[in-house]
Amino acid sequence: MEKKLGGGKRPSEKQFLDHDRKVLQFFVRSEDLQFVWHYFLADDTVEIREVHFPNDGRDSFSVYLRRQKLPNTFEINMPGHQFIGDRYLTCDEIQYDKDLVAYGRVFQICGVDKFT
């Protein structure tokens, strides 16, 4: 019965099992602030954390964007407009020479970690 229904494994499960605990880490800048951009390969989610220094005069809320799928385009949904299809950022679309954009804010890539 399970084989008739597709073998019991969905592509997302295979992606999760193959890439569990593998994270791409980008060191980025935006508006003279430093951030760390994490891209989780297991489920194609993104997390953005702000880098704080001692006595930098800023509040210590380090999470700028909690872990979630990041849409490719940022559009304000008006009544009657709908989000059509899966238009989320994937690891194939990230390039070192291009800027990263999250909800209208532009991040310039300054460096990456060894695994990335």
Task: Note down pLDDT in tens along the chain; length 116 residues.
Answer: 444 555 545 566 777 777 788 899 999 999 989 999 999 988 889 999 999 888 888 877 789 899 998 888 766 666 655 555 567 888 888 888 899 988 889 999 999 999 88
Q: Compute the mean pLDDT over every residue in the chain, rounded to the nearest whole number.
A: 81
Task: Please name the residue that has the structure tokens 């990041």.
Answer: 70
- Asked if residue 93 is part of any domain, the answer here is yes
Q: Does residue 4 lie in a domain region? A: no
Summarize pLDDT for 29-44 with one digit per residue, the tens. Answer: 999 899 999 999 888 8
Count up the domains in the chain and report the number. Answer: 1
**Residue 95 is part of which domain span?**
11-111
In a domain, 1, yes or no: no
2 domain-assigned:
no
**Model pLDDT for residues 43-55, shown as the tens digit of each residue:** 889 999 999 888 8
What's the pLDDT at 79? 65
Indicate whether 5 belongs to any domain. Answer: no
Q: Domain with 101 in it: what CATH number?
A: 2.30.29.170
The reply to whether 74 falls in a domain is: yes
User: Residue 35 domain-assigned?
Assistant: yes
